[in-house]
Amino acid sequence: MTEKKSIYYATAVLLALIIFASNFLSTDIFQVGYQNFSVWFVLSIFAFACGWLINKTLGYNHGGKVIFAVIVSSAFITVIMISLFSEYFGLSNLLVENIILYLLRNIHLGAIGLFGLVVCELLIMQKESNLSKKKLDEIKNLMTSAQREAQLIVEEARIKADKLLYDAQKAADEILEKKKYLESQLKEFIAAERELIKKYEAEEE
C-alpha cells in the first residue's frame, strides 16, 4: 500500500514540473501570436489533468493539500530562481513587478490543477448521488411492495378471521337449536310420564 501511495505522488511532481517549466515561457502570451498562447493552453490542460489524477489517486482532501503545497513550493523556488538569475530572464529592471507576474502564472497553473481536482470530485459526487437516488428508489419500491404484501396478508387474515367467527357463530347456533330441541323433547317426555303416572294411579283407585 505504501509503494502504491508513493507512486501516486508522481502526479504531484509532474504538476510541479509543469508549473516550474512555465517560468521559461514569455509573459506576453498574445504578443507573438497564437503559438505562445497554445503552449499555455496545453500547459493548462496538463495541469487540469494532473489535478484530476491527484483526486483519483490521493483523494479530495489530501490531494488539495498536496496541490497547495506544490503551488507554495513552486512559487518559493520561482522567487529564488528569478532573484538569483534575473539577468538570464532579462529582468534587470522592475524585478519585484516581474516576480509578481511570474508568481501569478504559477498560481494560475496551480489553480487550474485545483480546478481539475474539484471538477473530478464533483463528477464523483454526482455519480454517487445518482447511485444513492437509484438505491433510494429501489428501497421505496421495496417498501411499497412490502406494504402492499402486508395489506394483502392483513386482508387475508381478516377474511379468515371473519370466516372463523362465522363458522363459530353457526356452530353455536346449531348447538343452541339442538339444546332447545332436546329441552322440548325432554319436556314432552316428562309430560307424557306424568300422564302415565296419573292414569296408573287412577286405575289403582
Residue ranges per structural domain of the chain: 2-141
The C-alpha cell that represents 123 in the structure block: 463528477
Segment 49-66 mean pLDDT: 87
Of 123, 154, 6, 106, residue with least CA distance to 55:
123
The C-alpha cell that represents 33 in the structure block: 501570436
Q: How confident is the model at residue 1 (pLDDT cuts 50, 70, 90)?
A: very low
Q: Tell me, what's the pLDDT at 115? A: 92
Q: Tell me, what's the pLDDT at 30? A: 43
Q: Is the pLDDT of residue 87 over 80?
A: no
Q: Tell me, what's the pLDDT at 122? A: 92
Segment 167-187 mean pLDDT: 86
Are 105 and 50 in contact by the 8 Å Cβ rule? The answer is: no
Q: Please report which helix (H) or strand (E) contains residue 204, including its range.
A: helix 95-204
Q: Tell me, what's the pLDDT at 7? A: 78
Segment 129-157 mean pLDDT: 89
Per-residue pLDDT of 100-115, as tens digits, reads: 877 888 888 889 999 9
DSSP 30: T
**Lowest-confidence region among 48-57, 61-70, 95-104:** 95-104
Q: Give the Cα separation of 54 and 51 in Å (integer).
A: 5
Q: Is the pLDDT of residue 76 over 60?
A: yes
The amino acid present at 104, given as its one-letter code, is L
Segment 64-79 mean pLDDT: 87
Q: Is the pLDDT of residue 141 over 80?
A: yes
Are 57 and 63 in contact by the 8 Å Cβ rule? The answer is: yes
Per-chain mean pLDDT for the chain: 81
Q: Is the pLDDT of residue 128 over 60?
A: yes
